Structure 1
Amino acid sequence: MSTVDAQMPGVFYRRPSPESDPYIEPGSVVQPGQTIGLIEVMKTFNEIKADKPCRVAKILLDDGDEVDIGQSMFEVDEP
């Protein structure tokens, strides 16, 4: 098991807009380059992308949670 950690401080979002479905759910298998979340910094939305194939074991934050550099956002394991 490993984690996906924030590369910048900001506000975390699991979906592109309030009425949209989340990018991923626990159990989702993701591919490199796939968007798995967003971090908003000063009204700019930065996509969080998977850097390797993995399965999302746990999402550690809710929409609107503040995140700091190095904070774990997801637990992942091999697909």
Structure 2
Amino acid sequence: MSTVDAQMPGVFYRRPSPEADPYIEPGDDVRPGQTIGLIEVMKTFNEVKADKAFRVAKILLDDGEEVDVGQSMFEVDEP
């Protein structure tokens, strides 16, 4: 098992808007380039994209939670 870590500090979001479904859920298979979350920095939303294929094992942050550089956001299983 490995992790996907934040590349920038900010506020983490699991979905594009409060009424939308989350980008990913535990058990989902993710493909490279797929959006898996957002990090807001100074009112700018930055998409977090998968850099490789994996299966989501666990989501470690809640919507609106602050994240630091290098902090783990997801636990994943790689194929």
What is the TM-score of this pair, normalised by structure 2?
0.98
Gaps of 5+ in 1: none
Number of aligned positions between the proteins: 79
> Hey, what does 2:57 align to over in structure 1?
57
Which amino acid in 2 is paired with 1:51? D
Residue 6 of structure 1 deviates from its aligned partner by: 0.4
Residue 57 of structure 1 deviates from its aligned partner by: 0.2
1:30 aligns with 2:35: no
Gaps of 5+ in 2: none
> Hey, what does 2:71 align to over in structure 1?
71
Residue 46 of structure 1 deviates from its aligned partner by: 0.4
In 2, distance between residues paired with 1:49 and 1:30? 10
- Cα offsets for 1:5-48 (capped at 9, x unmatched): 00000000000000000000000000000000000000000000
> Hey, what does 2:5 align to over in structure 1?
5
Residue 78 of structure 1 deviates from its aligned partner by: 1.9
In 2, distance between residues paired with 1:73 and 1:54? 14
Superposition misfits of 4+ residues, deviation over 3 angstroms: none
In 2, distance between residues paired with 1:37 and 1:78? 18
What is the TM-score of this pair, normalised by structure 1?
0.98
